[in-house]
A = this chain, B = another copy of it.
Amino acid sequence: MRESLRLESFSIPGYNANELRERGERLLPQLAEWSKSDFAGFRRVLDSGSDCYPDLKKIRRMAAAHRKGSSGKPIRDFVILGIGGSSLGAEAILRALHSPLQEPRFHVLDNADPAQMSWLLKGLDSRETLFYVVAKSGATPETLSQFLVAIQWVKKRAKGESWKKHFVLCTDPAKGDLRTLASRWKLDCLEVPPAVGGRFSVLTPVGLFPAAFAGIPLDPFLKGAASVAAWEKAPWHENPCAQLALALAKNARERPITVLMPYSSRLSAFSRWFCQLWAESLGKKGRGLTPYPATGATDQHSQMQLYMEGPADKCLLFVHVANPGGAVAIPSVAGTADLPSFGLLKGKSVGGLLEAEFRATRDAVTNQGIPNGTLAIDKLDAYSLGALFYFWEWATAIAGAELGVNPFDQPGVEAAKVLTKKYLNENR
């Protein structure tokens, strides 16, 4: 099995081998208990015999059929209607592995924002557009409101029942209003396994159908994830995921901010996916860690000053992509050789510059005494991305167990949901 990712460097004060072993013995029963229960099924996603395993054939078949379109024109624009866990995973995959200027183009409507919606629809041709409507509960008001607007928009431009070909739904296999509509209208509909929470659902049809639509092979995601899951067989003192998660949890009081800083613009959406996972899973009972989304080298020019000399409240986690892809030499251009800032770049590559920036930044923060770690991948592809997803899902579960919170619920958002309904009924 190809190595998917490794802990390349690590300077966060954590636990020694004995302490890690002891924690493994204490926390593994809790993790095993959770694994059996609802919403903790992210590990069963990798088990081909389980209720959570994605039907890759069905996903690929459906993607291939819809790519052709139904109005004589292939689908050019794929619009995700989804919010939070219903969009962030797909975005992380697409930004990492699909050029934004290549067709099909992917768009995400992740808000009840009228301008965002009308701007997008004005730029699309309904005959060439497919909407992917994702809501595990089938009840998310932001997503349902967009769905209704999109139905009306397509219906106006389509003949008879043909509008239905422009929607694919993704929701609970049996429950909820979206599932009811899918049956009633005979819309294509994929399944979010009931045992997989929204923010853990990237390796289900939620993330995999858009990936398939982009032409990205699906098996490597699961294989990459499985390569990390295989670490479960090792004791915790040899398990980088447990080592990292427990060290971050240990420092939660002194260093409550976890900065994730991949050195790749293609992973900036991955950072945001991580932020939801880490924030919503661990932020409970006054505990938790605040995840911070960063991108290297970009945020050296916007955040690094704060990390270096601001409050000592952060741990930094780099993601180092050994080969960032698409070798681009920095050319020598006549008339620049005598200028010192250009001379520095002579004979170098863009990737070489990024690598130097990464090494320099890691050394600078280490010299400053800022605890940090580096996850390294050889290249950014579906295999390593699957590994990164699983790594952080698992690390989140372990950190939750250590912090004494249930990482699979989100009780703190109920109050606002109740008030939203109340205010919506009072208003226009």
A327 on interface, CB distance cutoff 8 Å: yes
Q: Which residues of B contact A16 (CB under 8 A)?
A: none
Instruction: Tell me the bound Cα distance from A144 to B333 in angstroms.
Output: 11
Q: Which residues of B contact A308 (CB under 8 A)?
A: 283, 412-413, 415
Given contacts A111-B298, A176-B341, A283-B308, 17 further A-B contacts (CB under 8 A): A84-B298, A84-B300, A100-B119, A101-B119, A102-B119, A112-B351, A113-B265, A115-B324, A141-B341, A148-B331, A276-B302, A284-B310, A286-B310, A293-B293, A300-B416, A353-B420, A360-B423
13 contacts between A and B (CB under 8 A): A83-B297, A83-B298, A101-B123, A111-B296, A115-B324, A117-B328, A148-B333, A151-B333, A257-B257, A286-B311, A305-B411, A345-B424, A353-B424
B286 and A306 form a contact (CB under 8 A): no
A233 on interface, CB distance cutoff 8 Å: no
Instruction: Tell me the bound Cα distance from A324 to B112 in angstroms.
Output: 10
A138 on interface, CB distance cutoff 8 Å: yes
**Distance (whole angstroms) from the CB of A240 to the closest CB of chain B:** 25
From B114, B336, B415, give the contact of A350 (CB < 8 A).
B114
Main SS class of interface, A: helix
Q: Which residues of B contact A332 (CB under 8 A)?
A: 148
A305 and B412 form a contact (CB under 8 A): yes
Contact string against B for A residues 391-428, beta-carbon threshold 8 Å, 1 for contact and 0 otherwise:
00000000000000000001111011111111111011
* Residues of A326-365 contacting chain B, CB below 8 A: 326-328, 330-333, 335-336, 339-342, 344-345, 347-357, 359-361, 363-364
B305 and A413 form a contact (CB under 8 A): yes
Known: A256-B313, A331-B149. A102 touches B123 (CB 8 A): yes
Q: Which residues of B contact A4 (CB under 8 A)?
A: none
A85 on interface, CB distance cutoff 8 Å: yes
